[in-house]
Chains A and B, each alone.
Chain A
Amino acid sequence: MKFWNRLRLRARRRRGESELVDEIRLHREMLAEEFVREGMSREQAARAAARQFGNSGASEDESRDEWAFPRFDAIWKDVVFALRLMWRQPLVTVAAVLTVAFGVGANTAVLSVLETVLLNPLGMPHTADVTVARVHVEKIKMWHAPDSAVEFAEIHEMREAFSAVAAIEGRQWTYDTGGQATRLLGRAVTPEFFRVFGVSPVLGRFLNQEDRNSVVLSYTMWQSQFGGDRGVLDRTLVLDGTPHQVVGVAPKNFRFPPDAAAWSPLILSPERLKQRGYNMDLVVVARLRDGLTFRQAQSRIARYNAALWNGPDGKDLKDSGYGVDLDRFPEYLAGDLQAPLWLLSAAALVVLLTGCANVAGLLLTRSASRRREIAIRLAVGATRWQIVRQLMLESLLLGAFGGLAGLALAKLAVLLVARMPIPGKDVLALAALDGRMLAYGIGIALASGLIFGIVPAVQLLRDGQSAAMVRSRRRWFQDVFVSAEVCGAFVLVVMTGLLLRSLWNVEQVQLGFDAHRITTAYFTNPKNDATFHERLVSALANASGVESAALAYPVPFTTGGLTSGFVIRNREHRPDEPEWHGEAYFVTPGYLHTLRIPLLRGRNLAESDGANAPTVCLIDRKLAEKFFLNQDPIGHEIGMYKGWAQIVGVVANVRADGAEEETRPVVYYSLAQIPYFNQAAAVVRSSVPAGSLIRDIVRQTNASAPVFDVATMEERIGESMGLRRVLASLLVAFGGIALLLAAIGIYGVIAQVVAEQTREVGVRMALGARGGQIRTMFMRQGLYSGGMGLLAGIMATVLVQKWVSTLLYQVRALDGKTLAVALGAIGGVLIAAVWLPSRRAAKIDPQLALRHE
């Protein structure tokens, strides 16, 4: 009430003031008239009225004060003053604002990605208690592998640890939209799936035990395909030719897995539930029972692993190092993004702290030159608190402006990250700046404002104390400042260097095939069309502009070959040998020629290696060297898919899983002989990118075959290095900014020291010191603290190196060359930043210096 009245009065202040003046004048006139009536002269009356009324100016002032907000007004005055000051030194202001903006922008952007991926995965609620169980087989270095049905069934029984357990299996359906075959991605899930995530349907129900051909739609699918129609529950969806009843719609914030458009029931056959280690393509998710900690659940799984080894098949499982790991859901989701993200957030923090230190240095310099102004203000009665308030306000304002600019930068950066095509990282597309992130950005901006404001403020408050003390303290601050900046920049530059070298190494890897002008596209095999592949290959090969064409499953740089154990006829597997594992590709005869993979021995696959001919295969050189060292592998038989296959040729090694993957031995089968898969891909070498050509020809050959995942081979290779490239370029940006900031900061500090000691230098020179000596004096101070920073940086690098080693490729974390280059770069910058102001000190004219101030 009082507040509003005051505000109202204040709002109409102009009018209020003139009313007040009128009112007071009227009062005095009436008083004067009264005195005149009592018989005074006009002048006497006026004097008497003035006496009786008292000081009318004071009365006006006091009246005005009644509507004022005294504290607010004072702060407002400070704000205006600070703004005027900032305006008067635009260079300092812009430098400070930009510095804060970089720090805030980098941190906010990285945090919002971190949030989407790790802290609050996919923006889904209730995921804190969700865990994921995955298999590892130590002997073949297989980690985080999907589970077979047996693990699911056994974990499902652990009711004391998990309140809900579900298995998930990938599905891709061919779905008919208005006469056109489309591929629809979804998952088959066991009934407790949605309970694991603690969500309830927005429409209808979720799946239960009795469901067979039912389907739950994702919210996005419901909106895009059915326009959010509530009558969707009566509809059926024809998936792979089978009608599926729509029973429910998942809520909007349920996005797991991010690419799933629908969920259907997963029916596990009794046979499958007995075969451990077979059909390993299930993801098992489990919800912790209430009140159970993650650690407790992990120890339950550890007991389970021990029981496995002591069980009936224990010996085999123990020999191969078979077991189950339990991970938290966010870690599962983040996968190999985890380390890069933490690294980036650390880098962003270094940038922010370096920036803060710089702005603090800047303000310190300025406050030194403002000492006179502040002394005057103190002398005319300002309290120390008022001065500090004024200074803090200035830095807070700088922080706020920097924060706003930083948020704009962050917005831009997040947009870029969300668009980044990194395969398997579609989580990133969900990154966005929400309200909390904005609050965080402004928060750190203001916090940095406080941090860099407090240094000069404290300094000024100390000015009353003896000058010598102040000076020694300032030196202390400056030394720490130089050391910290050098240390931070060094660590960042080393990390950047290591990642750049890794990127370089990866890009140098020889892939073993020619990826230029190759276009690839997957398609789903149509039903009841035995000659589809033959017709498609010849149609593709005869199309204009096409040099050569082949079909393959899978395509290099997508999922990697199908991994399987194998046996060789007449060759015993020695017990001390690790199990034999290889990768299989299923190709048409034109594959080698199209990708220009050299045939080293024997013959290529041929058209005659059809469904009814004896099964044949090619092996790669790696397999040949490992298993047929001093003999000719041609004619031997290998068992991997569909019984024994005779080796008819040896081809060169190919990096097909990705440049960084050390490929396992590879076996190429004739696609026509192994009809196990419901999809394959066209691989076409042509003069121009052939994406739409492949689409057209597949449709002409059989309209019910949907085409998906079209990309040139170079795009696929680029995407597989996407994460590495993005990480390297972001670190280059962060490292560059940190280095630049450090250079500016150190230069500023030393220049400041020189300016402060101009008088002292003058005295020394007057007493006979030479320029060289003066220069050495300043350089020694700067280089000493910089050297300490380098030492600290080296120690920090040793500490954090373990952390980045997973991100490196053929570079050791403590790589001598990288360390040397970083040392050289930082050292050079340090020397330059110290030398420039030191040289200026050496040129000081003692005459001028002694008259200084």
Chain B
Amino acid sequence: MGTTNQEFLKGTLDMLILKTLSRGPNHGYGIALHIRRLSQEAFKVGEGSLYPALQRLLVNGWVRAEWGITETGRKARVYQITAAGRKQLAEEVRNFDFLLANIARVMEGA
């Protein structure tokens, strides 16, 4: 797998996490669960790769993290999207749409 591909996946994962968090705060497992369900298990990258991505989002200031209690009464780190994160999400969605549209046009043309 080339670097571009990895970067592309990373970017996509970031977008998916932000999308998930835009519906409300969640912990790591919850985010993984959500993405798994939405993508109908198509996204079978190791769920471990979620955590580097979350750190990356923290560093960029797109999410905030706090320790809280889950529905099942466990102590877990709960992530929340920030205003900057929403802006980033909108941006990424726009880029993604643009990319998809272009790919579609090329494919049709061929």
Provide the bound-state CA to CA distance between A195 and B61, in Å: 59
B29 touches A65 (CB 8 A): no
CB of A32, distance to nearest CB on chain B (Å): 11
B55 touches A63 (CB 8 A): yes
B59 touches A9 (CB 8 A): yes
Number of residues on chain B facing chain A (CB within 8 A): 23
| A815 at the B interface (CB under 8 A) | no
A27 touches B58 (CB 8 A): no
Q: Which residues of B in the span 13-71 have a Cβ within 8 Å of any Cβ on A?
A: 27-29, 32, 45-52, 54-56, 58-61
**Looking at the complex, which one of A1, A9, A31, A65 makes contact with B52 (CB distance below 8 Å)?**
A65
B52 touches A2 (CB 8 A): no
Q: Which residues of A in the span 30-86 have a Cβ within 8 Å of any Cβ on B?
A: 30-31, 52-56, 58-60, 62-67
B52 touches A62 (CB 8 A): yes
Q: Contacts A2-B59, A6-B59 given: A27-B49 contact, CB under 8 Å?
A: no
Chain A residues whose C-beta falls within 8 Å of the C-beta of B77 in the assembled complex? 19, 22-23
Provide the bound-state CA to CA distance between A241 and B27, in Å: 92
A27 touches B61 (CB 8 A): no
Provide the bound-state CA to CA distance between A92 and B67, in Å: 53
A27 touches B47 (CB 8 A): yes
B48 touches A66 (CB 8 A): no
CB of B17, distance to nearest CB on chain A (Å): 13
A5 touches B58 (CB 8 A): yes
Contacts between chains A and B (CB distance < 8 A), count: 76
Interface residues of A, dominant DSSP? helix
| B101 at the A interface (CB under 8 A) | no
CB of A687, distance to nearest CB on chain B (Å): 85
Chain A residues whose C-beta falls within 8 Å of the C-beta of B105 in the assembled complex? none
**Looking at the complex, which one of A5, A20, A59 makes contact with B49 (CB distance below 8 Å)?**
A59
CB of A45, distance to nearest CB on chain B (Å): 14
CB of A31, distance to nearest CB on chain B (Å): 7
B59 touches A52 (CB 8 A): no
Number of residues on chain A facing chain B (CB within 8 A): 28
Q: Which residues of A in the span 1-36 have a Cβ within 8 Å of any Cβ on B?
A: 1-2, 5-6, 9, 19-20, 22-24, 26-27, 30-31
Chain A residues whose C-beta falls within 8 Å of the C-beta of B75 in the assembled complex? 26
A58 touches B76 (CB 8 A): no
Chain B residues whose C-beta falls within 8 Å of the C-beta of A1 in the assembled complex? 60-61
- The residue in chain B whose Cβ has the minimal distance to the Cβ of A61 is B52
Provide the bound-state CA to CA distance between A6 and B77, in Å: 18
- The residue in chain B whose Cβ has the minimal distance to the Cβ of A66 is B55
**Looking at the complex, which one of A2, A53, A62, A64 makes contact with B60 (CB distance below 8 Å)?**
A2
Provide the bound-state CA to CA distance between A810 and B27, in Å: 92
**Looking at the complex, which one of A6, A26, A30, A55 makes contact with B46 (CB distance below 8 Å)?**
A55
Provide the bound-state CA to CA distance between A24 and B52, in Å: 11
Chain B residues whose C-beta falls within 8 Å of the C-beta of A2 in the assembled complex? 59-61
Provide the bound-state CA to CA distance between A58 and B59, in Å: 19
**Looking at the complex, which one of B47, B54, B56 makes contact with A54 (CB distance below 8 Å)?**
B47
Provide the bound-state CA to CA distance between A19 and B77, in Å: 8
Provide the bound-state CA to CA distance between A493 and B15, in Å: 75
CB of B30, distance to nearest CB on chain A (Å): 9
Provide the bound-state CA to CA distance between A63 and B56, in Å: 8
CB of B20, distance to nearest CB on chain A (Å): 15
Quick one: which of B32, B45, B55 has the most chain A CB within 10 A?
A: B55
Q: Contacts A23-B77, A26-B76, A27-B32 given: A54-B59 contact, CB under 8 Å?
A: no
CB of B88, distance to nearest CB on chain A (Å): 12
A54 touches B28 (CB 8 A): no
CB of B25, distance to nearest CB on chain A (Å): 15
CB of B54, distance to nearest CB on chain A (Å): 8
B52 touches A52 (CB 8 A): no
Chain A residues whose C-beta falls within 8 Å of the C-beta of B32 in the assembled complex? 27
Provide the bound-state CA to CA distance between A55 and B47, in Å: 9
A5 touches B60 (CB 8 A): yes
Nearest 4 pairs between A and B by C-beta?
A54-B46, A59-B48, A62-B52, A66-B55
* A interface residues (Cβ-Cβ under 8 A, vs B): 1-2, 5-6, 9, 19-20, 22-24, 26-27, 30-31, 52-56, 58-60, 62-67
Sample (8) of A-B pairs whose CB atoms are under 8 Å apart: A1-B60, A2-B61, A9-B55, A19-B77, A24-B48, A27-B50, A59-B46, A59-B52
